[in-house]
Structures are given as C-alpha cells and as structure tokens.
Structure 1
Amino acid sequence: MKRTLPLLAALLLVPLAVLHAAARPNVIVILSDDLGYADLGCFGSKAIKTPHLDRMAAEGLKLTSFYAQPVCGPSRAALMTGCFPMRVAEPGNRKNQHNVLHPREVTMAEMLKDAGYSTACIGKWHLGARTPDGWNHATMPNAQGFDYFYGTPLYNGLTPAVGGNAFRSQILRNTEVAVKEVQDWDHITQDYTREALDFIRAHRAKPFFLYLAHNMPHIPLGASENFKGKSAGGPFGDAVEGIDWSCGEIVKALKELGLDERTLIVFTSDNGPWIETTDGMKPGGKPFIPREHSGNAEPLRGYKMVTWDGGFRVPCVVRWPGNIPAGSVSDELTSTLDLLPTFAALADTKPPADRKLDGLDLGAFLRAPSGKSPRADFLFYSYTHLQAVRDARWKLVLPRPEYPRWTGFSGRFFGDGVSALELYDLKSDPGETRNLADTHPDEVARLMALVESARADLGDYDRVGAGQRFFDDGPKRRDITAWKQPAKKDSKTK
C-alpha cells in the first residue's frame, strides 16, 4: 500500500490534457500512386511480392470495396476534405481537372492540427496552384494544416522515361526548393521513408498525423539498387516492392518506439492503374506506356481515368493492433471520403461544422468489421460529369459518348462510350460484364433517384449543384457553357 500511494499521487498530478492525448491514436495515411486493385500479394498478385503489406493485412483489416477517385488531383481533394471533388471550392470559383484547394477549405491536417496533433505531408501534393514565380503558397501543404512538407508539388512525370518529356519535377522542403529538377526517381521512396521515420521519431511524445504520399508507381518509375530488376512484375513491380519495404520500415519503427498499438495506419492508392498502351487506347495508335510499367486491376473492368470500377476501386489495408481485429476482410462499401470524419472521432474532435461533408465515420465499423459500413452509396464522377452510382450491391452506369468534352483529359479513351443505361450486380459480377438493366427495372429506377439527387446537390457537366462550394466573388464555374458542346465522334476529339 505504501508503494502505491506515491504512484497514485503522481497520476493525480498528471495534467488531464496529457492523459487525453495518450488516449488518441497517431494516424498514418500511406497513399501510393496508380497502384491497381490486384497489385499487392494480399489482393491477388502472383508476380509482385509484398510481404510487409501482406503482414499488415493479416494483422488488421483488408477492405475489398474501398473507393478513391479516378485520377490524382480529385482523389487527393476527396481524401483531404472528406468531400466529393465536385463539392470542393477552388480559387476563382473554377472547377479544374485537378482540384486546387481553396484556402478556405478545411483539410484533415488542419482539423487534426487544431486538435493538438503534429502534422507532416511527405510526398506528392498535387492540390496547389502555380504562379509565374512558382507556387501559390496559400494552396500548398504548409498553409493547409501541415507543419512540415517534403515532396513534389505535382506528379513526377508524364512519360515512361524521364527524358521522354521536357517536364522535370521539383522537390520542396516546406516552401523552399530542395531539388530544382529531379532527373531520376530511383531513390525517391527511400528519401520519403527517411523523412517519414525522422518525423515519427521526432514527434513520438504526442499524437501525430503523417500523410505519406508516394510518387511511385506512377511513371516514370524508379527503384533503388535493392529492388531494381528484382521483381517478376517488371519495373512496376520493382517500384511496388520498394513501397512495401517502406511500409515494413515504418511498422518496425513504431514497434521499436512503443507506438505500435497507439497508431492507426491506412494504406491505399489514389486511383486505379494507368494502363494506356497507346495514346487514348486507340487501336494502332502510337505506343505509350509499356505494359510492364503499369499495374493490374483484375478482376475489375477499366483503369485510371475511367469510371468503371478499375478506375475507382483500390486496395486498402487498415492496421491498428488491439483495436481492429487481426485477419479481418470486409467487402462493405467504404471510401477515402470517410477517413476525415473517422479521424475526427478518433482524435476526439469534430469535423468542420459550417459545411456539408460526404464522408462518414467508420470508427465503429473498423472495430467490428464483420458488421455493416455506414456508407450506403457512392458516386462516380469523371471530372464534372456524373457517370455512375452504386449501392452495396448494384451499380448503375449512365449513357455517355465516346469523347465527352466535359471530362477533359480523363475523357479521351477510345471506345468508352455507353449508349443506354447499364446495371451491374457487383457482388456476383465485379468485372461489370453482364448488363441487367432490362431485367431489374426497379433497381434502375431506385438508383436513378440517387442520380437526380446527386445532380441537384453536386451538379453535373451542364449544371451547378446547390451544394457546391464557391468562396470567391464572380460567376460560379464561369466556363460551364463550354461543357455543353456535343461531343465529336472522330478520333481527334479529346
């Protein structure tokens, strides 16, 4: 009894804020770039070896119906804000192909920073606006809630080899240029891992939020000496196996620091694989991305930039020892939209209350993943064009021409037109191969009601939605009339 009294007295003197902070988990989001649904061992890859991510899945939860967005900028906007990209405000009331976050948007980093978390963005940002002198810093990570930033403002390139295009990416450290022009990407995953580990070690005493957004395996690919030429999955597999190593290093550090059971890790991808063997997938077109430089979405249909499931549905592993049951697998509908409100609840704070969010709190579901997800449906936008909607079982695909101008760069793929409503049972047909619209008119009608509700709230290529956010003076989506032009049917239309 005499030995316990000093301990009890000491505990009574511990500030409540310290005890409160200790109860809240650290949060790590690891986002890969252009990783396909089937590009991890735990999601079916036979060629690419991912032992660390496979172990993370075995120790946590594998989500098999987890959705992002079809391309880089919109995907990051949805993740950071908990909103469909169509809802998110941008400077000048525009709607860009790749979202630029308005300074008045609230990111998950700002929310967690206000709750007392240390925050870092390491890797690809792709939500900022360029200026003649570089970057509008009000739209960059340090102004969007991140205490520390190290990474690329945009993508790492547009061609399979760095020399195939005049573009050269910078690397920034906070607002300063750390590398003026990156000439090869072989060590970028190692560099990001070093930065991530340094941040974790430096901020282990209080809750932290780490957003680690890898440039790999987006082209041009890179892999260090330990991985280059080693994967049966070719150069793409080399890059993915480097990311897997990085995940293993992070988990190892958490264990060494005694943070393992106090840290929630979410690993996922920003969109499906960039499979574009010829420009726009045109038959006989100029060769573009060699097949061993891009991933695999099997058994799903489609790939990056299109609204078939292969463009949106991505691998997701969630690990939080002692809180998420090990070895769990769920096909419940979930999304990157849901991470912000989930993190808010875990951090004992609130999402921004002055605006509508599309995300839902997954906290109870993650702790009991044999149950139901709170998410009932999901919308598929290509840029500003609503092209599909799904619920827990059914996906309704809306008609569209082959080259809808209102989808910009993302609408250039050959032969992707849809002439009439199509309905797919994703539980029995995840590859979207059997159109059941004629035999299930009741499901078509029910999902069309969701479509009309979405158009009224979020808008479409030809209308402004009542729930879209515009913070600046002047017209809303001022070039909207340009997107009403009929699409041409020749191969020159992009």
Structure 2
Amino acid sequence: MFIRKMAGSLHLLACAIVGGLVSAGHARPPNFVIVFADDFGFDLECFGSPTTRTVNINRMAAEGMKLTQWNTAHSICSPSRAAILTGRYAIRSGIFGNESTIQPHTGDHRVVHPSCYGHLPLDEVTIAEALKPANYTSMAIGKWHLGYAYENTTLLPVGHGFDYFYGTPVTHCEGPPSYPAVPVFQNHEKVGRIGVDIVREDLVYRYADQATQFISNNANNSFFLYLAMDNTHSPVYSPANFTSLRGPYGAATEALDWVVGQVMDTLTKMNLAQDTLVVFTSDNGAWYTPPPTQAGVVGPFQGTYAPQELGYVDTGKGSSWEGGFRVPAVAWWPGTIAAGTVCENFTSSLDLFVTFLNLAGAPLPTGVALDGKDISGILDPSGIHARLPHMPASKFENSGNYTFFYYRGPVLMAARSGALKAHFITHSGFGHEVPVTHDPPLLFNVEVDPQERLPLEPARYHAFISEITAAVEHHQSTVKPVTPQLDLIDYKAMDCVGLSEKQSGCCMQLAGKCTY
C-alpha cells in the first residue's frame, strides 16, 4: 500500500503507521455518509482547480485523505449508482441495455429514463439492506436513477432497504419537453414536481436540510446516508447566491461544496465527526458534450491517444478511457484517518460495500458475487473499528494485483491490473463512430501515463496480456445472464399520474413529447 502525507515528504509503505496516534474505545460501529456528485470532474481546489472555490471539500482533504487512483465502477449514471450501492458491476444486476450501448448513442438504453420501466431488481442487496443486521438506519437523498414506473414506489430506495428517501427518481433535467415534469418523493409519497410546484434551484437547500435533519435525528443510532446530488449534471443549476469565476458550472460546484459543509458541520455539532466515515466522489467523469460553462474537466486523464482514432476528443463520461472512470475521491474520518494523507493505491466505488460491512460488523450477503475489495486497511489503518477480519481483495488475483474491469453496457471494453491497463475495444463517450477492436490489446501504464498518450509495445508484455486475458475470462465465467433492464422501454410507462387530461394524453403518446 502506498500512502503519503500531503504536507511533507514522508512516504509510508504500511498503512498501519498512519493511524498510530488514533485513540481507541469506540462503543459502536461507525456511521457512513456517501456524497455522490453527478458528472463531476476534477474541479476541486484540492485537486488543482484554479477557478472553483471548494472550501469544505478542501477541508475534508486537509483533515482526511485524498484517493488519487479512485475509479467509479461505470462511466455513466445508472450503472454507476447500481454498482456503488451493491458492490457489483452492473452487468450482474441488469442495469445495462443491449441496444445502443456500443452503437451510435440514443441515450434510452444506457440510463434509466422516465420512459424506461426497468429497474434495479428487488433481490439485489444494497448497502442499506446489508447493514440492517447491524441495526443501521439509512436514508437516500437526491437522484435515484435506478427505476420508477407509474405508482410503483417499491422500486424507489424505500423498496431497496432504505428507511427514508427524499429526492427524484430520475435526473432533474428529464422533464419537459420530452417527458413529464420530474416528481419529487418523500419516502413513498409524491410531494411535488420540479418546475410545477418545486423550484429546481431550491433542491440544493432541500437536500441539505434533509441530510442535516437525518443526521440530527439519528445521533444515537448507527446510520448510513447516501446523498446523491444533481450537481453538476448539465444543465447545471444552483441558487442565485452562488457565483463563480467558472460560470454556472463553478456556481453549481460551490453549491455542492456548501452542502458538503452542512453535513460536516452537523456531524461536528452533534459530536459525531469521529464516529462517521464520509466519502465524497462522483458517479462518473466529466461530460465532454455540454459547453464549458455547463461541464467539468477530466483533469490529466485526457485519453490523448483517442483523437488519433476519432479525430476529436470525447474521452470523459460514457467512455472507457481514464477520463470516464477516474474521478476525485476524498475520505474524512477525524481521529481515524490521519490528516493530510494521500492514498495512491487503486481503489473504486465497488469497494465501499464490502468495506462498510466489514467496519459495521455486518455479514456479507450469501450467494452474491461481489466485485469490490475491502479497503478498511486504508481507511482504518490501525484496525480500531474493524469488527471482522479484513476480507481478501479478490478471489482471483493477477500477480498479487486486483483486477478491475471497464464496461460499456454489457461489453467489457478494458481491464486493469496494477499499473497496466489493456483496452480490448475503444469507443468515444457519446460518438457515432464504429468501435475499434484491438488484438493484441492497446496497452498503457496509467500510473506514469494517465493521459493514455503513449501505447506500450505488446511484444514486450506477453506475460501481462496472458494474465489479464485469463482474468477477463475468469470474471466473465462468473457473470450470469440477466434481463437487460434498460432495454425495457415504453413511453406508456411514464409517470403521468396527477397531470391534467391534456398533459396525460400527450405523455401517453409513443412520441413522448410533452410541451406544457
């Protein structure tokens, strides 16, 4: 493991050294908070952004840990959300579509749209459900994006192990003119619609209020809070009092940072900070399609080899290049994570499921193939909070390295083990070009060449190619066929309940164009 102090030159090869000053004697397992940003790039001051003020996330990093090789499990919204909550690639849960996932982009088959009646299967075990045996109370706030049709609220978080929910079933922008106005739910009850009786910009305050109330109300309980913000999905939004040199995107980023500050301040006020692990990250990399005022940057992860194939750059969200998967991550746990540390180990959003359960002392679900590894040795190096022995990184290891797989829908595009990444198929995030197959695979050392600019000579890496190919074959042998949930499209399945007769009639048309 490789962890270093940000404010010095001390390099520590053993995580246990970092936590040497942590005090013991925690009466209960830690609380968990995930702040999940949307389409967020490397637009944080603590990751080098010169124009966006993120004072609260800076504080998280200064008092906690930056994870500089953190990857999201998928490079687009719905599959990524399924993966972080289940610890499983979305190929296992069916949050993908066979149609249009590797062909020219139509959008309808890569995420859950209002016209999709597919959903995260109810037998999938989420973090919230898995923590129940350890007596955790849980709440999901914000964007769900894992299923909702008609009045079937069992598909919302309250049907997946969460005790409480406040938020939207789909992305905030998936309303008129193409779809009905996006509903907002409190648990099972619809409490309004964006643009009808709820002001979109006010969601920032609503989500912050819900989060702080939940924390305050559960000060004496072990809890899990999943705070999935809309920020910074295009079109970005923020209350009028947030402004930035970076324009609307910067303002949305600073609103997101303010919400993070509200969570941290509430935990501190309630004397819960030392008992709570907070992780900030993003569902996928920044999106190249919107204009610069509406989208983030992918930092150094440009995928600069790609334009040689494409003639243009689209190597962020939606792609299997580093810019689609490599996202910022910060972990804050005062008294356990040493202040100002940087973890340069490979980590991913898949890891949180197993890690949280280990720290909570909750059993792993039986008969479920999990894809993440336990990183509690990184986040809790002294083992103070460990309730179970550390779990193995993977049942199949490549030369001692964990193997990570890059999917686009049902197609395995690439795999990484250690510093080396092998692209078997490449494609832009949202382009219309024909995918390029690479045999032998296109190789990069993404630790020294995160831009994926300098392909390695395959002839010099026969052993690695054999190992990574074997890892892919083994992984694929564990994937059972499931229904592609995102291919379940029917405009008649859209939520038109509660709209006027004219509006409902419009929405029930197969064209799905609502102009109100």
Interval containing the TM-score (normalised by the shorter chain) = 0.7 to 0.9
Indicate whether 1:335 and 2:348 are aligned: yes
User: Within 1, Cα distance between the matches of 2:139 and 2:465?
Assistant: 44
**SS at 1:450's partner residue?**
helix
Q: Which residue of 2 aligns with 1:75?
A: 80
Shift of 1:361: 1.4
Q: Which moved more, 1:26-35 or 1:136-145?
A: 136-145
Match for residue 351 of structure 1? 364
Match of 1:15 in 2: none
Alpha-carbon distance in 2 for matches of 1:453, 1:426: 23
Alignment of 1:15-30 (within 5 A): 22-30=27-35
Could you report, residue by residue, the CA deviation over 1:194-252 in whole angstroms, capped at 9, with x for unpaired residues? 1100111111111111111001111221111220xx21111111001111111111111
Question: 2:444 aligns to what?
Answer: 424
Cα separation, partners in 2 of 1:355 and 1:271, compared to 1, 3 Å: same
2:96 touches 2:410 (CA, 8 Å); kept in 1? no
Could you tell me which residue of structure 1 aligns to residue 55 of structure 2?
A: 51
| TM-score normalised over the length of structure 2 | 0.75
* RMSD over aligned Cα atoms: 2.8
Higher relative contact order (CA 8 A, sep 6+): 2
The aligned counterpart of 2:45 is 41
Q: Do 1:66 and 1:314's aligned partners in 2 also have CA atoms closer than 8 Å?
A: yes
Q: Paired residue for 1:384, among 410, 415, 418?
A: 410
1:381-414: CA deviation from partner (whole Å, max 9, x where unpaired): 00011100011200000135x59xxxxxx66454
Q: Give the structure 1 partner of residue 257 of structure 2.
A: 244
Q: Distance in 2 between matches of 1:362 and 1:135?
A: 39
Count of residue correspondences: 416
Q: Structure 1 CA distance, aligned partners of 2:435 and 2:284?
A: 18
What amino acid does structure 1 have at the position aligned with 2:45?
G
CA distance in 2, matches of 1:441, 1:291: 39
2:89 aligned partner: 84
Does residue 453 in structure 1 map to residue 466 in structure 2?
Answer: no
Task: Kindly report structure 1 stretches of 4+ aligned residues shifted beyond 3 Å.
Answer: 89-99, 162-167, 181-184, 410-420, 476-480
1:207 aligns with 2:222: yes
Q: Is 1:111 the counterpart of 2:115 in the alignment?
A: no
**Could you tell me how far 1:345 is from its partner in structure 2?**
1.0
Match of 2:241 in 1: 226
Supply the distance in 2 between the matched residues of 1:72 and 1:181 (Cα, whole angstroms): 20
**Partners of 1:46 and 1:90 in 2: CA distance:** 37
| Structure-2 separation of matches of 1:98 and 1:290 | 22
- Residues 1:154 and 2:180 aligned together: no
Q: In the alignment, does 2:339 pair up with 1:326?
A: yes
Deviation of the 1:454 alpha carbon: 2.6
Task: Assess if the C-alpha contact under 8 Å between 2:148 and 2:169 holds in 1.
Answer: no
Which residue of 2 is the match for residue 253 of structure 1? 266
In structure 2, relative to structure 1, the CA distance for the partners of 1:248 and 1:431 (3 Å cut) is: same
Q: Which moved more, 1:237-246 or 1:359-368?
A: 359-368
Q: 1:291-337 CA deviation, whole Å, 9 max, x = no partner?
A: 21000002002210010011111110001111111111012111111
The residue type equivalent to 2:136 in the other structure is: Y
Q: What corresponds to 1:315 in structure 2?
A: 328
Verify the 8 A CA contact 2:98 2:409 in the aligned structure 1: no
Q: Is the 8 A contact 1:157 1:167 kept in 2?
A: no
Partner of 1:12: none
Report the equivalent of 1:192. 207
How far apart, in 1, do the equivalents of 2:474 and 2:258 lie? 44
Matches of 1:54 and 1:220, distance apart in 2: 25
> Is the CA contact (8 Å cut-off) linking 2:90 and 2:96 kept in structure 1?
no
Tell me the TM-score normalized by structure 1: 0.79
Per-residue Cα deviation, 1:354-402 (whole angstroms, up to 9, x for no partner): 2111112111122239xxx9471210000011100011200000135x5
Change (3 A) 1:53 1:448: same
1:129-149 per-residue CA deviation (whole Å, 9 max, x = no partner) reads: 42xxx2432321111111110
Q: CA, structure 1 residues 168+440, in 2 after alignment: closer, same or farther (shift >3 Å)?
A: farther
C-alpha contact 2:172 2:194 (8 A) present in aligned 1: no
How far off is 1:479 after superposition?
11
Change (3 A) 1:478 1:366: closer
Tell me the amino acid that sits aligned with residue 223 of structure 2. F
In structure 1, the gaps of 5 or more residues are 1-19, 277-288, 404-409, 459-467, 471-475, 481-494
Gaps of 5+ in 2: 1-24, 102-108, 113-118, 303-314, 383-391, 394-400, 488-516
Q: Are residue 171 (structure 1) and residue 184 (structure 2) matched?
A: yes
Report the Cα offset of residue 180 of structure 1. Answer: 2.4
